[in-house]
Amino acid sequence: MTDSQNTRSPLHLLWLEKYQTALQNMKEAKKNGQNVLIEVAAQHPLKDGQFPGSEFQARLDLGIKIYHELKGSKEVYFYVPGSRHQENGKADLCSLSSAGKNYLISKGVKSENIYADDANSEIMGEKGVYNSTDECYVSCELFKKHHFQELHLVCSPNQMMRKMLCYINFGYFPNIHTASTDEMYHNPINEIFECIPKVLENNQKAEDITRNSRRVC
């Protein structure tokens, strides 16, 4: 063990091990799998309660661009995560998944190539999909179940590191694409000092607080 390795904390070493496992799993998928899965990270709140806002739409548009670049040689599928959300007492009229799916269909993506509310219900049940941990868990379960070869993530640059860590925690490491807009929901400072430590420390209590604050009762 090198001097630098001697100074690493147990948590640091644990995550290095998780990272190596994720890389190995992606190598195996590349060798044995087929087709492509793109997760487009949803963003609440929805415009007028039912349509993707500018930030969510920017991610969907980038996902569509990747879809067209890859679909000539492989079958490409989307996963758009997100149950019905509420924020500050105002609830969306539909789930983030259904809003994103409808947008993709309007741009020519086949419905049967989009995992949305069906995947949320199948994998998460009544628990729903309300944060990055939930999103990445469902995406990884789909990736395993359907033996995909490639995994792509489209998200905000400000949430990229948290999403990456969630994926590593579940054993996979996606190709990452970011879509930027003038105003973004995620604050990079809060990500660094609040959100990322919760993931690193596997803080389930904090995750439940987030879910409960967004869940429509």
> Residue 34 is encoded by which pair of tokens?
């087929």
Flag whether pLDDT at 3 surpasses 60. Answer: no
Query: Who contacts 101 (Cβ-Cβ below 8 Å, separation ≥6)?
Result: 78, 80, 111, 114, 116, 117
Identify the pLDDT of residue 1.
Answer: 52
Query: Who contacts 16 (Cβ-Cβ below 8 Å, separation ≥6)?
Result: 8
- CATH no., domain 3-214: 3.40.50
Bridge partners (DSSP) of residue 79 are 39, 115
Query: Who contacts 128 (Cβ-Cβ below 8 Å, separation ≥6)?
Result: 83, 120, 134, 211, 215
Tell me the average pLDDT across 174-196: 96
Identify the pLDDT of residue 7.
Answer: 87
Is the pTM for the entire model greater than 0.85?
A: yes
> Residue 92 is encoded by which pair of tokens?
């969306």
Measured at the CA of 111, the angle between CA 145 and CA 55, to 5 degrees, comes to 90
pLDDT band at 5 (very low <50, low <70, confident <90, very high): low
What is the spatial distance between Cα 159 and Cα 195, in angstroms, rounded to a whole number? 9
Identify the pLDDT of residue 72.
Answer: 85
Per-residue pLDDT tens digits for 50-108: 999 999 999 999 999 999 999 988 899 999 999 999 998 899 999 999 999 999 999 99
The DSSP result for 33-76, as a single string, is: --SEEEEE---SSPBTTTB--HHHHHHHHHHHHHHHHHTTTS-E
The radius of gyration of the chain from alpha carbons, rounded to an integer in Å, stands at 17
Residue 123 DSSP SS3: helix
Per-residue pLDDT tens digits for 98-154: 999 999 999 999 999 999 999 999 999 999 999 999 999 999 999 999 999 999 999
What is the spatial distance between Cα 102 and Cα 111, in angstroms, rounded to a whole number? 9
pLDDT band at 4 (very low <50, low <70, confident <90, very high): low
